[in-house]
Structure 1
Amino acid sequence: MESIWRKTCEIESRPQLSGDIKAQALVIGAGMAGILTAYYLEQAGVKTIVLESGKIGGGQTQNTTAKITAQHGLVCSRLLKKVSREKARTYMEASQKAVDAYKEIIEREQIACDFQQAGSYIYSQKEEELTKELEAASQLGVPANYVTKVESPVPCAGAVKFKGQGQFHPLKFLKALCGSLEIYENSQVLGAEDHKVWTAHGSVEADKIIFASHYPFYNFPGFYFARMHQERSYVLALENAGKLEGMYLGTGQEPYSFRGYGKYILLGGCGCRTGENQMGGNIENLRQAARDFFPESREVACWAAQDCMTADRIPFIGSYGKAKPDWLVATGFGKWGMTGSMVSAMLLKDLVCGIKNPYQPVFTPARFSSVELPQMFLDTGKAVKGLSRQIFQRPSEKAEDLACGRGGIVKTEGKKAGVYKNQEGELSIVKVKCTHMGCQMEWNPDEKTWDCPCHGSRFDREGNVIDGPAQKAAVFSDKTPPKGSMSMNFEKQKTP
């Protein structure tokens, strides 16, 4: 699965960190949030280094739909239910400022990234739902209008439109920003103290350490594992599907997303909580929707994104936790990583530089509200269920009974294991116990991966980490990680 962005943009490789270096600020993660943060810090005169465990833009940034918008679903009415009017207004101001900041950077740096100014639409079959959103937008001072003529192929009563939003090619934008930054690829952080981190071949000492790694991989302080869950969603790039002006997102049980990119239309939807796609069929359901909406179209790319979801749907941006005053974090962007990344970069730059930022009270990770409790209880329940399954559930399948191309949980040599049988009948065996906090992983037949339903870690069929927060491979081995290590490579195991 490779996105249209990755297919159409190659970013020059950077070296692996080797040796011990120092900086004023260290950013962990070279996705949109990390690169924007480093860019702003360097603009402010702060010597900054970026460490990336894989490739620049190789995580969620390459899998976005790349909508630059303050319209995060029925955002205005949702905010007014969860936070005060003042905080809701501040959230919307920050989001729109992020949209404007992209435009400013693209113009100032003369970045050729296929940027287009476009309207953003939230459509619904329920007129009352749209009316409430329009009223909420008015209360928050957000320019919006109700339209009845909507280009979306999904029948609807109308849509609420935000003018002056944008869309672009995220990797072309990232490639341009990377030019002047000191970035080290294939440099996974294996350990960290207050002002120093280690990789396999070096270390970085910095006054401030910023975690922009999608999901924070240190459980403490912060307890982010108890305050977020992860969701997956799927996207198709379709040609011969006609033209589409603007960006669209629906409401309800299946909120399909649409936007244009050149000769393509990007169709998104059919998502689920990570680890809850045991039956499969989500990608095929999206392909069926494509056939229904655009019967003459042809699929040229298919990919998936993974999003960190906070209980109140507001990102965590700020101090990692009281015990680590010089650690900062940016996570929990929900489905809106482009605006979340920009808000993070602007806010984190001010925090590093000692500048008071009016948006900090809204996004601070230290916040807590009773409205978050239902979602937190639900997420905790999912985690308890995953742990219980690991301890008590007995495998119901035998490895020899698996069909080719299938995965399942079996008992082998007295141990519970995850087994995948390829088309040649070879078996790949992994630990089915997630290396993050011990929950039982589930087989994802659509993507042929092992996914954790508790906190969203994902592993390939050989047990290698694809998505965190897990850092260790889920492979049976008698090897012991070196002292102070958070991650280790293990050998692949196969049975005849």
Structure 2
Amino acid sequence: MASTATQQETRTRSGIPGLVNNPWKQQDQRIQFPRLERDANFEVVVIGAGVVGLTAALALAKAGKKVGVLEGRVVAAGQAGRAPGDVTTGNPVTYQGLEKMYGADKARLVAESQAAALAHVKRVVQEERIQCSLREVDGYIIPDQAAHADFGGELGAMHKAGLADTAQVDLEGDKTAGGARVCLQMPNQVRLNPVEYLNGLAGAVMSHGGEIFESTRVRKYDNHSLTTYEGRKVAASGAVVVATGVPITSNLVDSAIHAIALHGKQVVRRRFAVGLKVPKGAVRDAIFYDTASPPHTIHLAEGGRDHDVLIVSGQDTDQGKKPSEYGDPFRLLEGYAREKWPEVQERLYQWSHPITVPVEKLGMYGPDPVHPWGNIYVGTGDCGLVLTGGTLGGLTIADAILGRADPFAELYSPRRKLKGLPFIPTLHPAYLKNTVQSIVNLVTPQLSNPDIEDMAPDSGATIQSGLRKVAVYKDPQGETHAYSAVCPHLGCLLQWNPADKEWNCPCHGSCFDKQGSNIEGPSTLDLKELSGVLPKSKHN
């Protein structure tokens, strides 16, 4: 069980919402750059200081562009600051799967693109002297007992895709490898501290002439201008890059169009992770990917002098489900690790992060499909390959803005049409299911409410109050706070996430901290605080 000192925090002592206590010390991020307090002009404006945004900003700044990065909270506050920390040529779909879906040529492009992202991370860390605990290690694809992986077929597909250094090896039950035997070995993969890496990218952007503004939330934007929450006007003469995980939108009409043209093509899922204390030498310094459904990613992070931290992530589930449906993903992840590495000691960290999974299992990096004649670019849909996909996305977007030929641009274009009927948007089935269910939950009266007096401190619940749904949070002091439970993006019903103590939207991916502050798009608004709406306690 995680100790009190390492429990999840969605609002830190610094007042920055949405940071978690993880091995990367995301919760220790502090404001490093000023808020934008003036109107400004740039050639390129990047919204979001995560891996997509900072990768693109650095490439553009090095090419001589006048770049401004607008970050609503702090650098590394989003998805990448919660990611496991692996950069890899492996793909969760498998190269056999990619070849079956898209053919050998496109599978080869996927491999080449991920290899390019991996090489870029290594190169930029060296060139910019970024201190991020980068280690080159072997990656292993290990079979899940129930999956009966066809490693012969996958090995052949990976070789055909150009990953010639992948080999089938027998680890002979090595205890430090979790007892793995026959598996696929991918040499020269990378693990690193993503928060340190993003801080390093931010420093590099500044050193190459870019500007970064934190605590600067964008309220709306179009092809050549943006408006911040404080009303500052920002001109973008060349391009706008929307690098906010799920791209933010400007108004109701913009949101509705994006829901069909972009957001509905993917589903937002939640990936859970634990950080476990292990003695030094007990676990091989490698990255392990198993073939379970959902899969696990396992690797080490730096701990203390006498121990390492074993990071195990997985137990993916659709975001925004009801609190009663969560179970205990952290216990399951810890149990998985203990079964393979009995030397595991206590749980030090537990957290989760959103991942975006397009129906086509390929990221969407490039021109915004909603603005076909505009200068707006988006990056989303990394399929859980947060650092690999984000790096690839940032580079692809930068190439498009600079007018450079990019061999991967068509493959990852958000405007592409790879599946389904011509001229009809290919919406993700899970997106449709989650959206319909959310609408049903919103309009159906909730027959039973939890009694607010019985709610535990630091917990939340969605309740029925008259004709409206209310998001109720009880703080550690026992005071209750009420907010509209309707997502300000497009009106879906929010659900309390008990694992991270935040409010999640099941439709398009918006997230809000327990006190209603917006922490993930596409919404740009906080939850509306309500008064005088809570029902009386049954105990009164």
- Asked if Structure 1 and Structure 2 have the same fold, meaning a TM-score greater than 0.5 normalized by the shorter chain, the answer is yes
Partner of 1:283: 330
Aligned equivalents of 2:218 and 2:80: distance in 1? 19
**Alignment CA distance shift 1:191-1:403 (3 Å):** closer
**Structure 1 residue 309 and structure 2 residue 357: aligned?**
yes
Partner of 1:141: 162
**Structure 1 residue 130 and structure 2 residue 175: aligned?**
no
**Structure 1 residue 356 and structure 2 residue 405: aligned?**
yes
1:76-91 map, 5 Å: 76-91=95-110
Mean CA deviation greater in 157-166 or 360-369: 157-166
| Displacement after TM superposition at 1:428 (Å) | 2.3
What amino acid sits opposite 2:409 in the alignment?
Answer: Q
- In structure 1, the residue corresponding to 2:84 is in which secondary structure? coil
Aligned equivalents of 1:366 and 1:414: distance in 2? 40
Is residue 215–residue 468 contact of structure 1 (8 Å, CA) maintained in 2? yes
- In structure 2, the residue corresponding to 1:347 is in which secondary structure? helix
Partner of 1:483: none
**Structure 1 residue 238 and structure 2 residue 276: aligned?**
yes
- In structure 1, the residue corresponding to 2:163 is in which secondary structure? coil
Is residue 399–residue 410 contact of structure 1 (8 Å, CA) maintained in 2? no
Partner of 2:233: 203
**Alignment CA distance shift 1:177-1:441 (3 Å):** closer
Partner of 2:4: none
Count of aligned pairs between the two proteins: 484
| Displacement after TM superposition at 1:394 (Å) | 2.5
- In structure 1, the residue corresponding to 2:73 is in which secondary structure? coil
Partner of 2:520: 467
| Displacement after TM superposition at 1:358 (Å) | 1.2
- In structure 1, the residue corresponding to 2:399 is in which secondary structure? helix
Aligned equivalents of 1:324 and 1:392: distance in 2? 41
**TM-score of the pair, normalised by structure 1:** 0.90
| Displacement after TM superposition at 1:120 (Å) | 1.2
- In structure 1, the residue corresponding to 2:218 is in which secondary structure? coil
**Alignment CA distance shift 1:475-1:85 (3 Å):** same
| Displacement after TM superposition at 1:290 (Å) | 4.2
What amino acid sits opposite 2:211 in the alignment?
Answer: E
| Displacement after TM superposition at 1:316 (Å) | 0.4
| Displacement after TM superposition at 1:101 (Å) | 1.0
1:22-421 map, 5 Å: 22-124=41-143, 125=145, 126-143=147-164, 144-149=166-171, 158-179=182-203, 180=206, 181-199=210-228, 200-206=230-236, 207-218=238-249, 219=255, 220-221=257-258, 223-241=261-279, 242-262=282-302, 263-276=308-321, 278-279=323-324, 280=326, 281-292=328-339, 293-321=341-369, 322-370=371-419, 376-400=428-452, 402-405=454-457, 406-421=459-474
| Displacement after TM superposition at 1:356 (Å) | 1.7
Aligned equivalents of 2:170 and 2:268: distance in 1? 34
Residues 203-259 of structure 1, C-alpha deviations (whole Å, 9 max, x = no match): 211120011111111234572221111111122222234232210111123522210
Mean CA deviation greater in 97-106 or 423-432: 423-432
Aligned equivalents of 2:344 and 2:334: distance in 1? 13
Partner of 1:487: none
Aligned equivalents of 1:380 and 1:446: distance in 2? 24
Is residue 29–residue 74 contact of structure 2 (8 Å, CA) maintained in 1? no
Aligned equivalents of 2:476 and 2:31: distance in 1? 35
**Alignment CA distance shift 1:147-1:451 (3 Å):** same
- In structure 1, the residue corresponding to 2:433 is in which secondary structure? helix
- In structure 2, the residue corresponding to 1:4 is in which secondary structure? coil
Mean CA deviation greater in 449-458 or 303-312: 449-458
Residues 254-286 of structure 1, C-alpha deviations (whole Å, 9 max, x = no match): 522210123222121223111125223222333
What amino acid sits opposite 2:219 in the alignment?
Answer: L
> Cα RMSD between the aligned structures?
2.7
**Alignment CA distance shift 1:187-1:345 (3 Å):** same
- In structure 2, the residue corresponding to 1:19 is in which secondary structure? coil
| Displacement after TM superposition at 1:337 (Å) | 1.4
- Gap runs ≥5 in structure 1: 479-490
Aligned equivalents of 2:26 and 2:438: distance in 1? 36
Residues 289-309 of structure 1, C-alpha deviations (whole Å, 9 max, x = no match): 344444541222222111111
**Alignment CA distance shift 1:5-1:423 (3 Å):** closer
Is residue 278–residue 344 contact of structure 2 (8 Å, CA) maintained in 1? yes
| Displacement after TM superposition at 1:392 (Å) | 2.1
Partner of 1:485: none
Mean CA deviation greater in 255-264 or 34-43: 255-264
- Gap runs ≥5 in structure 2: 1-7, 9-20, 250-254, 303-307
| Displacement after TM superposition at 1:320 (Å) | 0.5
